[in-house]
Homo-oligomer: A and B are copies of this chain.
Amino acid sequence: MNTFGNLFKVSIFGESHGTSVGIIIDGSPAGVPLHEDDLLPDLKRRQSGKTGTTPRREADLPQIISGTFNGLTTGAPITIVFRNSNTRSRDYAEFTEIPRPGHADFTALKKYGGFSDYRGGGHFSGRLTLGLVSAGVLAKKLVAPIEISARLIEVYGEQDIQAAVQRAVEQEDSIGGIIECTATNVPVGLGEPFFGSVESQLAHMAFSIPAVKGIEFGTGFRAATMTGSEHNDNLLSPDGKTETNHAGGINGGISNGNDIVFRVVVKPTSSTSQPQRTLNLKTGKLTTLKIKGRHDTCIALRVPVILEAATAIVLADLCMLEQRIPRVWRDR
């Protein structure tokens, strides 16, 4: 259940306050340049530190412990590990008795019979996305010339993101946002009808990112207010380019040569400094919880690079299924 992909497979592991988090990438071609330093720019984009993100800072230094040799992938599984360091586990013990609203505290407790690592969200932590971002760096190399770019287009209903975040910081509450992701230079023919559709694969992966609660392709939900003659994209050229792109670059589950465009909604972080009502499972009484500890005001600020990685991982897999990525890289 912690593995995704058909030919380009990623398997994530780790806990927020355990020894480490990481990822195995199985199925990469041999011969692709991959150094730990290559991973740093995207890892840095994911990091906290800006206004509206948690004061917990980790070095986030990746170690590639298998699958490369002389700075090139070997064709064997690539394992990337991040050691955890800056952990304050005493903050979390009480949430096994008094689950935080909106968190996985309650569901994890019930599902794993009380044995899950509750510290810092354990295996549910957003820290697991470090591995995804790392795999994304490799995937982005593989899918070239496809380029993937995601950006936060709205928070708390506003397009003036900085202002909205600043106000939320002052009000000590968290806020949600919408991220748009675009893949350009996409060839015609990725994906399959039905279960292998590009939408199915991308959505599956996007909902693996904590806090994502919706996804829409092209005009998305607005399509419900359109007629067919408005929504249909008129074909203009033999390479598939259309006049509009209401379909978000996908027809019948298959990429049509236009940009793949989709948006996801990121809910406001569950952790907020506001007092909240919840149940004390031990006493059986309702109580008010005020969460101390460190958290993100607007986690959506950190999600774009994760969404790019998720997209790159899916597209790498789809490109491999179409034999668009060679098994040995220099053949390219």
Contacts and interface: CB of A to CB of B under 8 A. Distances in A.
Interface string A245-271: 011100111111000000001111111
Contacts of A203: 200, 203-204, 206-207, 215
Chief secondary structure at chain A's binding surface: mixed
Given A14-B77, A213-B221, 13 more contacts: A1-B26, A1-B192, A18-B66, A69-B119, A157-B224, A171-B227, A175-B228, A176-B226, A195-B204, A195-B205, A219-B267, A323-B326, A323-B327
Contacts of A247: 102, 213, 267
A232 interface: yes
A141 B1 CA distance: 21
Counting from the closest, the 8 A-B pairs by CB-CB distance are: A104-B252, A214-B216, A113-B328, A174-B228, A102-B232, A1-B196, A76-B123, A101-B232
Contacts of A331: 113
Contacts of A24: 2, 11, 13, 24
A149 interface: no
Interface in A171-208: 171, 173-178, 188-189, 192-197, 199-201, 203-208
A79 interface: yes
A111 interface: yes
A13 B252 contact: no
Contact of A214 (B106, B201, B220, B231): B220
Contacts of A65: 14, 18-20, 22, 81
Copies of this chain: 4
A188 B102 CA distance: 14
